[in-house]
Chains A and B, each alone.
Chain A
Amino acid sequence: MSLEQAVFAVAGLVCIVAAIIAATHRDPRTAGGAFLLTLASLAVLYAGLAAPAVSAAVILVGLFVTVPVLVPLTVPVSHGPVAAGPAVAGAALLIAGATFAIIFATIALGEVPINVSLRSSDGYDVAALRDIVTGRSAAAVGASAVLLIAVLMAARAARRDPQRSP
């Protein structure tokens, strides 16, 4: 087993286990901690994919969004259960099963590139990334920037005057 495969195996296992704990644990503090562990393992996986910008974004989200959001939420712990019948669980299984079916069918049909390890070794192509961001993805990136600014302004307004927040 190569180093890359070992990193993928460990980070993937940690990611899945932490995600299961985050999604199913009834204690919000444990769920929040597990979610942070999921984000950290995702950052490792992105780094393994030679996607340092995405990896850095995940780390920044963990440090500056998830932690400030989760800490105030998890201190006053609420255990109010939400009713979910077997129909809802069945819908979840159906959607998840369809997702796996699509993934495996795509792989079986040979539509997926075989190996991500054959990536270019000449480093991160910042110029190409800049061309995409300012070119054909400019609308999406601009909309995301506007969205982030709006969220930051709303968060500041809510913190300044919590009684009047919607």
Chain B
Amino acid sequence: MTTAAYLVLAAVLFAVGLLGTLVPANAIGRLVGVELMLAASALTFAAAAVGFRELDGQVAALVVIAVAIAQASVGASLVTRARRPE
């Protein structure tokens, strides 16, 4: 399997996430869009790590996933807070 195929797939995933973030149907769509962009960047790191035979990319992917967890938690808190009646 070629590295380019993984990179193109990640680029498509990033574009879909970007579209979901900038043209959202609702707040959750925006949250999911950002998550998709982070997932695309992690996939790029992992593919590059295998392609270049360096494990640093996999560590970077794990860091990106950790950031995605934090982002999902903060985003979910904001959405929940925005919906809560005063």
Contacts and interface: CB of A to CB of B under 8 A. Distances in A.
Q: Do A and B bind?
A: yes
Contact of B46 (A16, A54, A81): A54
Given A61-B68, A112-B7, A35 B63 contact: no
Contacts of B68: 61
Interface in B69-84: 69-70, 72-74, 76-77, 79-81, 83
Interface in A60-96: 61, 65-66, 69-70, 72-74, 76, 78-82, 84, 88-89, 91-92, 95-96
A140 interface: yes
Contacts of A145: 66
Interface residues of B, number: 67
Contacts of A116: 1-3, 6, 47, 50-51
Nearest to B12: A16
Interface string B25-37: 1111110110110
Interface string A96-127: 10011001001100001111110110000100
Interface of A is mostly: helix
Given A23-B19, A25-B25, A165 B9 contact: no
B35 A144 contact: no
Contacts, number: 230
B6 A49 contact: yes
B5 A8 contact: yes
B2 A114 contact: yes
Given A23-B32, A103-B7, A112-B3, A133 B23 contact: no
Interface of B: 1-9, 11-30, 32-33, 35-36, 39, 42-43, 46-53, 55-56, 58-63, 65-70, 72-74, 76-77, 79-81, 83
Given A8-B6, A54-B58, 19 more contacts: A23-B32, A24-B25, A42-B39, A51-B46, A54-B46, A54-B65, A58-B39, A58-B42, A58-B65, A78-B83, A80-B26, A80-B27, A81-B26, A92-B18, A92-B21, A107-B7, A112-B3, A137-B63, A151-B74
